[in-house]
Amino acid sequence: MLEIEDLQAGYGGSPVLKGVSLSVGEGEFISVVGPNGAGKTTLFKAVSGTVRPSAGRIRFGGTDLAEVPVAKRPHLGIAHVPEGRQLFPSLTVMENLEMGASTAAGQRDWARNLARVLDWFPILAERRNQLAGTLSGGQQQMVAVARGLTSAPKLLMLDEPSMGLAPAMAEFIFARLVEIHRESRLTILLVEQRVAEALEFADRGYVLEAGRIVLEGTHAVLSADDRVRQAYLGM
């Protein structure tokens, strides 16, 4: 579904990604882990189009994304849940979800998708008329994920969904992502610093360090690697 080949990208002429290649198959749950500054967020921005690659290729469903304007990428089925949530704080929960359903597929499947996200995150049904900016951090993250889902995506990209959350709430969000993947077979690409959880739930994972992929493999393979165990798992 998503093929990234020798991707280079950065800011103001300073490279952040230095020849990154990875693939995400339809229906897979893929995690990208690594330290701060490794280029994980830049990778997502290159896919969604807010950062322009300086070299390499990104193909989604066989389409070269270099030929697709930023505003049209959600209509291909790419949903990006950004780091820090970036909700519309002065809009209600429901209005934020409606903003997510701006794609043709989201509008077509609005009723079904809304029912599903409210089933996965029932607190949002209770808070549907509450301003998003007055919610707790965990509830705001639920809105951010749900907003991505209302676009009826083929690929859901989640950038650090556990950031700033208490451990119990982070675990809740991870459990919901696993449930969403299991029930819908939605393709998920996750960037996360909580490495143990990110690799545990994923079909495959990539370790990104200093702008390069240094390791890749299944949960079992990466968890058994001494570099991963020492640097990320505290073992």
The predicted-structure confidence for 167-206, as pLDDT tens digits, reads as follows 999 999 999 999 999 999 999 999 988 888 889 889 999 9
How many domains does the chain fold into?
Answer: 1
The predicted-structure confidence for 121-150, as pLDDT tens digits, reads as follows 999 999 999 999 999 999 999 999 999 999
Please, which residues bridge with residue 190 across strands?
Answer: 31, 158
The predicted-structure confidence for 52-86, as pLDDT tens digits, reads as follows 999 999 999 999 999 999 999 999 999 999 988 89
Within-domain flag for 146: no
Within-domain flag for 21: yes
Which stretches within 77-166 are classed as H helix?
93-100, 104-108, 110-120, 123-126, 137-149
CA distance 77 to 112: 17
Q: With beta carbons less than 8 A apart as the criterion, state whether 155 and 78 touch.
A: yes
Q: Rounded to the nearest 5 degrees, what angle is found at the Cα of 60, between the Cα atoms of 54 and 63? A: 85
Please state the pTM of the whole predicted model. Answer: 0.94
* CATH assignment at residue 2: 3.40.50.300
CA distance 187 to 86: 22
CA distance 119 to 99: 19
Within-domain flag for 97: no
Within-domain flag for 230: yes
Tokens for 145, please give them. Answer: 């994920």
CA distance 19 to 34: 16
Question: What Cα–Cα distance (Å) separates residue 51 from each residue in 43, 45, 94, 200?
Answer: 9, 5, 29, 30
CA distance 42 to 22: 14
Mean pLDDT of 5-31: 95
Q: With beta carbons less than 8 A apart as the criterion, state whether 46 and 58 touch.
A: yes
Within-domain flag for 210: yes
Within-domain flag for 204: yes
Q: Look up the domain containing 56 and give its range.
A: 1-76+193-235
Judged against a pLDDT cut of 60, whether residue 235 lies above it is answered with no
How much of the chain exceeds pLDDT 90, in percent? 83
Judged against a pLDDT cut of 80, whether residue 233 lies above it is answered with no
Within-domain flag for 113: no
Within-domain flag for 22: yes
